[in-house]
Chain A
Amino acid sequence: MSAAANPVGAQRAKKINFTQAVNLAMDEAMAADKRVILLGEDIADAQGGGVFTATKGLSAKYGTARVRSTPIAEQAILGAAIGAALVGYRPVAEIMLMNFMTVAMDQIVNHAAKLRFMSGGQTSVPITIRTATGAGAGFGGQHSDMLEAWFAHVPGLKVVMAANPADAKGLLLSCIEDDDPCIFIEHTLAYGVTGAPPPPDYRVPLGIASVAREGTDVSVIGYGPAIAPALALADALQKEGISLEVVDLRTIAPFDQATVLASVAKTRRAVVVHEAVRAFGVGAEISSCIHEALFSELRAPVGRVGSAYSPVPFSPPLEKAYLFNRAGLEAAIRKTLAR
């Protein structure tokens, strides 16, 4: 992201990518607290340190009792994480791809999300579920879905996605240390993307959005893979005298209404953008909240940008047609300005 903000030279050498960021977060969490354990398919070093190598080196450092490769059995993985969490552990479960969470929805929705409430607060489930997903990699319909809206709709779950490596580290640490179940979404295409290194002991508080770029004309509200194109557009449109404010939610649920509403109260125009399918997406909730709070102040209806109403296609041109893109975002922004 805003590389221009960093002085060229020494800083650049220290850049880290998303893989390193999540690995560092887990490393620090495990070093700080022996109750942090990792569970997932192939995550120990003997099995490759995870399919995206996010856990590489951690079993060597902390042992296979704490970094446990599991069978390909998502209900077993999440059940084990939930059970251990009920008695004080802070398990981080890696569900290789977000679509695989669908085979363990019962554990997530009926148990992780609800046990605190249904027990009247006697127990809690401080687990973190790390999962990768996203279209654009040619993985087809069952390895690419962005399902964050499903989880955001369940009371009791927190849903998080970082837009840069520093936030990935800071958010993941916050998830692991949080007393509620957190779903931490990683983008398969972002693992190699680099960014400014996080300061030591960096934490990104859950539920707090960041204004990634200040502006005055249109608020662009998104998260994860939507932020880079939004920032690029902010640079491009600045040349025409259009000033975008980019709000990076970071925590999707519960989302930071105060920051979103403050931004839109200022700009009076907003576009919500995400990679997930537009229909019934997170954007609908945010748009609705903005309309409810600021209807009379809006200069234009809130725009929504998302991917097409289709399973993620395999064929490259179709996959490209499916995905939300910068041109679509630009069109939505210009539409709000046309009023």
Chain B
Amino acid sequence: MSTGNPVVTPESAVASEAVAIPHDVLLGIYRRATLIRVADERFQKMISSGQLQILYYSPRGQEILSAALMSTLNQSDYLVTTYRGIHDQLAKGIPSRLLWAEFAGKATGTCKGKGGPMHITHPASGVMVTTGIVGAGLPIANGLALASQLEGDGKVTVVCFGDGSTNIGAFHEAMNLAQIWLLPVIFVCQNNLYGEHTPQAMSTGAKELIDRAVGYGIKGVQVNGNDAFAMHAAAAEAVARARAGRGPTFIEAKTFRFLGHLLGDDSHYIPETEMAAAKAADPLPAYRRALVARGIEESVLNAIDAEIGAEIDDAAQYALDSPYPELGEIRLDVLKAEIAV
């Protein structure tokens, strides 16, 4: 089953390019994916050069999935994600400067440097929780969706997690509750085929993760997450369903992780042929070729590339130049009232 390149079973796949996507949306996906790619490359560089000392979970290989998914959401829609989350956070719209400053532990970061890379929150972009605990985001996403249901505000909540999360209890409790209450929540399993260093076949009895959905009576969709057109279509359908009050969707989006679990991981547990095949199908260059084939000018894409390069230069410098938080911050935000000295 875990054959390297993402496999889509015909009966559950959303037909690629079945729906015409407007050019501005296509370019928006390209912009988001490029932003993720360039940010990821820069993070790697700054970590290896010692400019940043952080645990880093690279999203390399999963750029298109996030970019296409988030392009179906409004800024006010809610997102819950995990420690491998910069692709989701950037694609949802967190300003680069704020994200970079938070990764550097600076006072100017999204969370004043108090959360760090694994705990990014930015309600203004709809990013409500980033959790460092596998599977823990799903029950919380239900609560955000419950609030929207009670308010009738039409918002949807997307929660992203990996294949590893589908084996932890919180996943099952949350899937069940969402369906009983028909919550406007979308569970997006970014199935990169490995939970830390263990392949899906060794950790999961079900042959396909989409089969999890059946047990909860929840609508399940399996899609090639690396195909922007298919991913966009699957997400758009789930969003429409949630907004219409018809309940949750479980999306299994197949993808691949090029840089292992944690930066520095040599991926020795991944067969070389599997890794090579995945890299040959690198989703962002493939998407770029598809856009050019659709008549989008290279110059338009190059301009986006240049713009993003400048944005990341600026964000990285901003993070380095920003001050660390004042030490008094340790007494703030523990409770609403400041903790006494």
Q: Which residues in A have some Cβ–Cβ distance to B below 8 Å?
A: 37, 65-66, 68, 70-71, 73, 75-76, 78-89, 91, 103, 106-107, 110-111, 115-124, 155-156, 158, 178-180, 254
Give B144's nearest chain A residue, CB to CB. Answer: A83
Within 8 Å by CB of B129, from A75, A91, A115, A117, lies A115
- Most chain A beta-carbon neighbours within 10 Å: one of B119, B128, B141, B333: B333
The DSSP consensus for interface residues of chain A is mixed
List 18 extra interface pairs beyond A75-B139, A82-B140, A111-B133, CB under 8 A. A70-B177, A73-B173, A75-B174, A76-B139, A79-B139, A79-B142, A83-B146, A87-B78, A87-B148, A89-B150, A107-B139, A110-B132, A111-B136, A115-B121, A118-B119, A121-B333, A122-B110, A156-B335
* Cβ-defined contact, B129 with A110, below 8 A: no
In the assembled complex, B217 has its CB within 8 A of some CB on chain A: no
* Cβ-defined contact, A158 with B335, below 8 A: yes
Q: Which residues of B contact A178 (CB under 8 A)?
A: 336
Q: Which residues of A contact B221 (CB under 8 A)?
A: none
* Cβ-defined contact, B115 with A120, below 8 A: yes
* Cβ-defined contact, B144 with A71, below 8 A: no
Within 8 Å by CB of A156, from B112, B173, B332, B334, lies B334
* Cβ-defined contact, A106 with B170, below 8 A: yes
Q: How far is the CA of A95 from the CA of B34 in the complex (A)?
A: 46
A-B contact pairs, 5 of them (CB 8 A): A73-B173, A76-B142, A78-B139, A120-B114, A124-B336
- Most chain A beta-carbon neighbours within 10 Å: one of B143, B145, B148, B177: B143
Q: Which residues of A contact B141 (CB under 8 A)?
A: 79, 83
In the assembled complex, B138 has its CB within 8 A of some CB on chain A: yes
* Cβ-defined contact, B169 with A84, below 8 A: no
- Known contacts A84-B143, A85-B143: A106-B177 contact under CB 8 Å: no
- Known contacts A76-B174, A116-B333: A86-B136 contact under CB 8 Å: no
Interface flags, B317-340, vs A, CB<8A=1, else 0: 000000000000000111110000
Interface residues of B in 70-118 (CB under 8 A from A): 78, 80, 109-116
Interface residues in B, total, Cβ within 8 A: 46
* Cβ-defined contact, A122 with B173, below 8 A: no
- Known contacts A86-B144, A180-B336: A118-B115 contact under CB 8 Å: yes
In the assembled complex, B147 has its CB within 8 A of some CB on chain A: yes
* Cβ-defined contact, A110 with B136, below 8 A: yes
Within 8 Å by CB of A79, from B112, B174, B336, lies B174
Q: How far is the CA of A66 from the CA of B119 in the complex (A)?
A: 30
Interface flags, B161-187, vs A, CB<8A=1, else 0: 000000001100110110011000000
Within 8 Å by CB of A37, from B144, B148, B150, B169, lies B150
Q: How far is the CA of A88 from the CA of B115 in the complex (A)?
A: 21
Give B137's nearest chain A residue, CB to CB. Answer: A79
* Cβ-defined contact, B177 with A121, below 8 A: no
* Cβ-defined contact, B145 with A117, below 8 A: no
Q: Which residues of B contact A119 (CB under 8 A)?
A: 110-111, 114-115, 119, 121, 333
- Known contacts A79-B138, A111-B136, A155-B334: A121-B112 contact under CB 8 Å: yes
Q: How far is the CA of A218 from the CA of B173 in the complex (A)?
A: 50
Q: How far is the CA of A230 from the CA of B111 in the complex (A)?
A: 46
Within 8 Å by CB of B136, from A84, A107, A118, A254, lies A107
Q: How far is the CA of A123 from the CA of B336 in the complex (A)?
A: 11
Q: How far is the CA of A256 from the CA of B100 in the complex (A)?
A: 41
Q: Which residues of B contact A80 (CB under 8 A)?
A: 139-140, 142-143, 146, 177
- Known contacts A79-B138, A118-B119: A73-B332 contact under CB 8 Å: no
* Cβ-defined contact, A120 with B112, below 8 A: yes
Within 8 Å by CB of B122, from A65, A73, A116, A122, lies A122
